[in-house]
Amino acid sequence: MGRKLLLEHEHVPGIDGYEVYRSKGGYQAVEKALKSMGPEAVVEEVKTSGLRGRGGAGFPTGMKWSFIAKPEGKPRYLVCNADESEPGTFKDRYLMEKIPHLLVEGLILSSFALGANTAYIYIRGEYKWLVDVMEKAIGEAKHNGWIGKNILNSGFNLEIYVNNGAGAYICGEETALIESLEGKRGNPRIKPPFPAVSGLYNCPTVVNNVESIAAVVPIINLGGAEYAKIGLGKSTGTKLISACGHLKKPGVYEIELGVSVEEFINSEEYCGGIRDGHRLKALIPGGSSVPVLPYHLIYKTANGDQRLMTYESLADGGFATGSMLGSGGFIAMDETTCIVRNTWSFARFYHHESCGQCSPCREGTGWMEKVLHRIEHGHGNMHDIDLLVDVAKKIEGNTICPLGDAAAWPVAAAIRHFREEFEYHIKYPEKVKGIYAHLPDYSAVPV
Report 376-435 residues binding ligand SF4 (CB under 6 A). Answer: 399-401, 403-404
57 near ligand FMN, judged by CB under 6 A: yes
Where in 210-229 is the site for ligand SF4 (CB under 6 A)?
none
Binding residue for ligand FMN (CB under 6 A) from 5, 42, 62, 86? 86
User: Binding to ligand SF4 (CB under 6 A): which residues in 42-101?
Assistant: none
Least Å distance, CB 13 to other proteins, is: 19
Name the binder of 59 from other proteins, ligand FMN, ligand SF4, none, CB < 5-8 A by kind: ligand FMN
Q: How far is the CB of 237 from ligand FMN (least distance, A)?
A: 13
Of residues 22, 32, 136, 370, which one binds other proteins by CB under 8 A? 370
Position 125 contacts other proteins (CB under 8 A): yes
Q: Does 238 bind ligand FMN (CB under 6 A)?
A: no
Q: Total number of residues binding ligand SF4 (CB under 6 A)?
A: 14
Smallest separation (angstroms) from ligand SF4 to the CB of 112: 33
Q: Which of residues 319-358 bind ligand SF4 (CB under 6 A)?
A: 354-358
Distance CA 107, CA 25 (A): 16
Contact flags string 197-236 toward other proteins, x per CB under 8 A? ----x-----------------------------------
- Contact set for other proteins, span 350-369 (CB under 8 A): 351-360, 362-367
Bridge-partner residues for 163, per DSSP? 122
Q: How far is CA 125 from CA 83, 166, 168, 169, 342, in A?
A: 8, 4, 8, 10, 25
419 binds other proteins per the rule CB under 8 A: no
| Cβ burial, residue 167 (10 Å; 0-12/13-18/19+) | exposed
- Is 361 a binder of ligand SF4 (CB under 6 A)? yes
252 interface partner picked from ligand SF4, other proteins, ligand FMN, none, CB below 5 to 8 A per type: other proteins
CB of 151 to ligand SF4, least distance (A): 38
From the list other proteins, ligand FMN, ligand SF4, none, which binds 212 (C-beta under 5 to 8 Å, kind-based)?
ligand FMN
C-alpha of 146 from chain center:
28
- CB nearer other proteins, residue 222 or residue 403: 403
Please identify which residue in 78, 109, 113, 170 interacts with ligand FMN, judged by CB under 6 A: 170
- Answer yes or no whether residue 289 interacts with ligand SF4 by CB under 6 A: no
Per CB under 6 A, which of residues 150..179 are in contact with ligand SF4? 170
Candidates 37, 228, 244, 255: give the one binding other proteins (CB under 8 A).
244
Cβ burial 261-292 (10 Å sphere, 16+ → b, else e): bebbbbeeebbbbbbeeeebbbbbbbbbbbbb
Q: Does 179 bind ligand FMN (CB under 6 A)?
A: no
**CB neighbourhood size of 147 (10 A):** 22
CA distance 72 to 83: 31
Residue 53 binding ligand FMN, by CB under 6 A: yes
Q: Which residues bind ligand FMN (CB under 6 A)?
A: 53-57, 59, 61, 64, 81, 83-86, 170, 172-174, 207-209, 212, 401-403, 406
Q: Which residues bind ligand SF4 (CB under 6 A)?
A: 170, 188, 354-358, 361-362, 399-401, 403-404
